[in-house]
Structure 1
Amino acid sequence: MAIYVVFQLLILPLSVTILFLYYLFSHKSRNNQVTNWPVLGMAPALVKNYHKIHEFATQLLKESNGTFKFEGPSVANLDFLVTSDPANIHYILSKNFNNYPKGPEFHKIFDILGNGIQNVDDYFWEIQRKTNVSLFNHANFHKLSVETLGAKVEKGLIPLLDHVSEHGIEVDLQDVFQRLAFDNICTLVLDHDPQSLSRDLPHVPAEKASTIIEVALYHRHLLPESLWRLQSLIGFGKEKRLSRAWKIIDEFIYKCISLKRQDSLNRSSENSSVVKSQEEDKPDLLETYMESYKVMTSNPDKFLRDVLFSLLFAGQDSTSTALSWFFWLVTKNPSVESKIQQEIQTALNPKQDDSCIPFNKKEDLRKLVYLQAALSEALRLFPPVALEHKAPLQPDILPSGHRVDKDSKIVLSFYSVARMENVWGKDCLEFKPERWITEKGGIKHEASYKFPAFNAGPRSCLGKEMAFTQMKMVAANIIHNYKVEVVYGHHIVPRDSIILQMKYGLKVRMAKRSSCSTW
């Protein structure tokens, strides 16, 4: 038995690696041609295009009418079907939703999410979805989310941007957006502001942990399970960094839970009707989750940790990544920037002496239709979650005619959908906000399986409206008050991660548009 384990974990992967390297360096294939090698399958082509995996997948899908069967090494269990066909996406995420849960492979790879909503099916997913719907529909929830971000923009983001613009400092705007999003989601969900966004840009380990985790999880997709489990066992490479980040996240969340419990006890002991009446209308997410899940499992704190981490995981990098690509696209398209500036002037009519007052009123932000169209276009081209996994419970036939077996791996390429001419037209690669404007001047609705940036079907993102409000608030304040210029020669490519971040960040210089200096 011991010999078999060693063979599985060490000798077999090593043998496959040697064969793989032989084929990789002794055979030259033409661009975009994928050879299905004996034993190795299509793995050599995957490694050759590792640095541009999304573009590689898109090219294969274009040549395969939107659906492609990838065959990995015969001993590695890495076969999967990848599709960008909207009909398949609609079928899997909506029409036949019950047959396509996350699947066993997803749970193995994303074990750090535990029983959080992004990682579970059936009962655990339904109870969390129901709780989130109840909270997100609270009369004052959106008001609280706008106030929370508005305060962080006014007291954190703008002073920082004033500082870097005044001193001509280069700044990584993606890092700034990640810090902003982390502080905001922690304040909203954990009732704790870690203050990672300030002038000196302090190192906050919990804020950096998500990027480390996302990179490690991405690499798990491309390695045989035996290899990444071996790395995890011996503490090596990205698995070692994942383990450290996991510990940091756990310590941070459990500390916030403990502080909230102590705060609740203190308030209860005060027995103050005045304090109670003042806070009755303010939704307290952490307290609500603590109450809702206190008897969920034999280890309620662990379940609560999973729920909270899933919310932080979704809330930090989705909006920050979207904003990063949005500003990069805007800097490349000055006419779009001018139209957004003009819309702010026309719709919000800021007075000259009030030009530095932040835009943080939801009713005002709703007027910025073109800005929302530009954000939608950025999300179309660069969806933060570029891939989705599914595994059928029962054998099935997709609308494209492809057969799928029980528990087989299906990858939905949201990134590729935007680059298909048969879906978005011959101008699909253009950054064109106008495609989102109706003839009457409103926002055009697109089916979620054609625009899956917020997922689709029963698992569609509950925070879509909140996300647009937050992104519009940040974008409007920056574009109105600053000129953003990407540092010359700065290389922009997607990071090797499950979240479509920029690998080298977004290095920019900021120039103040107005003469105001005080916030």
Structure 2
Amino acid sequence: MAMFGYAEIFAAVLSLFFLFQLLSKRSQRNPLLTEWPILGMLPQILLNLWQIHEYATQILTQKGWTGEFRGPWFTKLNYLVTSDPMNVHHMMSKNFGNYVKGPEFREIFEAFGDGIFTADSELWKYNREILHSVFKNRSFEKFLERLIQKKVKSNLIPVVDHVQKQGVEVDLQDVFNRFTFDNICFTVLGYDPNCLSIDFPKVACEKAFNEAEESIFYRQAVPRSLWKLQSWLQIGEEKKMTQACKVFNQFLRESITSKRKEIETKQQQQSLSSLSDQVSYMDCMTSLDFIKKSCGENEMEEPDVDLLTALIRGEEEKGRAIDDKFLRDTAFNLFVAGRDTITSGLTWFFWLVATHPLVEAKILQEIKENFPAKEEEDMVLGVDEVKNLVYLHAAISEALRLFPPVPFERKQAIESDMLPSGHPIYANENILISLYAMGRSEETWGKDCLEFKPERWISNKGDIIHVPSYKFISFNSGPRTCLGKDLSFIQMKMVISAILCNYSIHVVEGHPISQSLSIVLLMKYGLKVRIKKRGI
């Protein structure tokens, strides 16, 4: 027990013991945030945890977009919280080297391993360099295009059509969860678990992934000593975290082992069939060349390649072995980047469009004007086609502004510094950036900042207005800007256009809309809708 620190444990337990008594006698001096003796500001944070992003936005608005959070005494649950764009620009770009994820972040996000989201310094650069060569390659874009088109035609549309024919309610968030899980599994692992089908099968690894993310969020809301104690005792959220990671890690380990055997078998077959005077297929290619050919960027039809295969073969041809831990950590990070963020974006988008019929009408009009000859019901637009949909792009951007898939970002300062807002930063201090609050700033977005208004993104010439990433930070900012930003827009446009052209979405009356307590901004109760076929 000494490993946790007696003072921290005492403060944490005392916080919980007196919590309900104190909440009933809250100070009226500040209805939003009060700092209690011993307990700090934690009681009111826990009281408002169910609406934490809205609550944080109210606090930051009151404090001029930057303020301090003080946790219980003798704990390290202290943060500087900001949503000031100039502070963000300073930390993310101008003084990027001084603000890192840090060891505390990696401890909380230990499920991510040493992947690109948690890594710093040279390890981060190595991760980013490898993934950049893939994501920014035109051939990978075409590979993703074929994958999405096939999945939409073969699974998504049939499920949506089945639901509308049955006339039953469906959780659209669950549909997107399954759709994106299948996609990311095939993209990363070359394996389609077929989560999305009309019988909605239960998939243990998909459920485990969701539970792990919820537990990570919990770790950031309570003192470190408390979740460390729960982890040691294996109770509460920490027990759920351990079990979830065990299931998902087993799934990844089996996938990696299977992939290595598959690659080894293929190499042996190639070696046996090749002539002695020929150079083997792999020896004459760079890793990027391999990805290009495997994604079909040549006249001959080459098989599509998953990222796991590309990573293993790419490193092998450089004479370097790539260990299973690196592959596991990379895969886990890509699952978060390529699955949950897309699910979040699509779910909130369809809710907004369903409750804003004029926006829906403009999207449909734009698609009709650009593609008047598209008459097939199962037609799915391609990459080059969706790039022409300016209003749809603006509507997606507006949805991401209001509901950023990752609602907060965490940083740690290496050395002392001064933010543009005038707030001092001390060495090793933790900073929380509220992306959610940034999208609701009148100073940045105007007095209509709470409105869903895609027109704010379109210039008088009809082009998308460029908004600096430190103001529109849904895809991060500076050197850590999301590598998959363009691919995310492409995927969402393909899915949205395929559904909206054929079906109208109606939110079930009385269905509660609230945010889940997770590191990704999902709907707590899902998005229950009824689907109707559009008239021809």
Q: TM-score, normalised by structure 2?
A: 0.91
Over 3 Å counting, the alpha-carbon distance change for 1:362 and 1:33 in structure 2 is closer
SS of 1:281's equivalent in the other structure is helix
Over 3 Å counting, the alpha-carbon distance change for 1:510 and 1:31 in structure 2 is farther
Note if contact 2:139-2:291 (Cα within 8 Å) is conserved in structure 1: no
Structure 1 Cα separation of the partners of residues 292 and 85 of structure 2: 45
2:378 equivalent to 1:357 = yes
Partner of 2:294: 282
Mapping for residues 255-274 of structure 1, pairs under 5 Å: 255-271=254-270
1:300 to 294, 306, 323: 323
2:444 to 403, 423, 426: 423
SS of 2:433's equivalent in the other structure is strand
Amino acid at match of 1:340: I
Over 3 Å counting, the alpha-carbon distance change for 1:40 and 1:8 in structure 2 is closer
Of residues 290-299 and 379-388 in structure 1, the stretch that sits farther from structure 2 once superposed is: 290-299
Over 3 Å counting, the alpha-carbon distance change for 1:10 and 1:166 in structure 2 is same
2:371 to 339, 348, 351: 348
Structure 2 Cα separation of the partners of residues 298 and 159 of structure 1: 43
Structure 1 Cα separation of the partners of residues 3 and 331 of structure 2: 40
SS of 1:82's equivalent in the other structure is strand
Partner of 1:311: 334
2:459 to 431, 434, 438: 438
Note if contact 1:389-1:409 (Cα within 8 Å) is conserved in structure 2: yes
Note if contact 1:297-1:303 (Cα within 8 Å) is conserved in structure 2: no
Using the TM superposition, give the Cα deviation of residue 286 of structure 1 relative to its aligned residue in structure 2, in angstroms: 1.1
Structure 2 Cα separation of the partners of residues 15 and 296 of structure 1: 56
Structure 1 Cα separation of the partners of residues 425 and 90 of structure 2: 13
Structure 2 Cα separation of the partners of residues 224 and 160 of structure 1: 44
Post-superposition Cα deviations, 1:200-259, rounded to whole Å, max 9, x if no partner, equal 111111122222111111110111111111111222111111111101111111111122
Note if contact 1:19-1:40 (Cα within 8 Å) is conserved in structure 2: no
Structure 2 Cα separation of the partners of residues 5 and 101 of structure 1: 25
Structure 2 Cα separation of the partners of residues 299 and 264 of structure 1: 13
SS of 2:100's equivalent in the other structure is coil
Partner of 1:162: 161
Post-superposition Cα deviations, 1:263-322, rounded to whole Å, max 9, x if no partner, equal 112212222579969997124321222245679999811121111111112111001100
Amino acid at match of 1:397: M
Note if contact 1:173-1:508 (Cα within 8 Å) is conserved in structure 2: yes
Post-superposition Cα deviations, 1:369-407, rounded to whole Å, max 9, x if no partner, equal 111110000000000001000011000000000001111
Structure 2 Cα separation of the partners of residues 394 and 209 of structure 1: 38
Partner of 1:77: 76
Note if contact 2:345-2:405 (Cα within 8 Å) is conserved in structure 1: yes
Structure 1 Cα separation of the partners of residues 57 and 386 of structure 2: 35
- What stretches of structure 2 of length at least 5 have no aligned partner? 283-289, 296-304
Note if contact 2:315-2:322 (Cα within 8 Å) is conserved in structure 1: no
Post-superposition Cα deviations, 1:86-139, rounded to whole Å, max 9, x if no partner, equal 000010011100000001221110011111110110111101100111112333
Note if contact 2:11-2:39 (Cα within 8 Å) is conserved in structure 1: no
Partner of 1:327: 350
Note if contact 1:147-1:360 (Cα within 8 Å) is conserved in structure 2: no
1:484 to 498, 505, 509: 505
Task: Calculate percent identity across the aligned residue pairs.
Answer: 44
Amino acid at match of 1:441: G
SS of 1:447's equivalent in the other structure is coil
2:431 equivalent to 1:410 = yes
Over 3 Å counting, the alpha-carbon distance change for 1:494 and 1:356 in structure 2 is same
Partner of 2:422: 401
Note if contact 1:213-1:245 (Cα within 8 Å) is conserved in structure 2: yes
Partner of 1:106: 105
1:503 to 524, 529, 535: 524
Mapping for residues 180-191 of structure 1, pairs under 5 Å: 180-191=179-190
Aligned length: 512
Of residues 128-137 and 87-96 in structure 1, the stretch that sits farther from structure 2 once superposed is: 128-137
Structure 1 Cα separation of the partners of residues 234 and 106 of structure 2: 21
Note if contact 2:66-2:84 (Cα within 8 Å) is conserved in structure 1: yes
Partner of 2:299: none
Structure 2 Cα separation of the partners of residues 252 and 121 of structure 1: 27
Partner of 1:248: 247
SS of 1:118's equivalent in the other structure is coil
Using the TM superposition, give the Cα deviation of residue 37 of structure 1 relative to its aligned residue in structure 2, in angstroms: 1.4
Q: TM-score, normalised by structure 1?
A: 0.94
SS of 1:130's equivalent in the other structure is helix
Structure 1 Cα separation of the partners of residues 92 and 205 of structure 2: 32
Over 3 Å counting, the alpha-carbon distance change for 1:296 and 1:47 in structure 2 is farther
- What stretches of structure 1 of length at least 5 have no aligned partner? none
2:405 to 365, 381, 384: 384
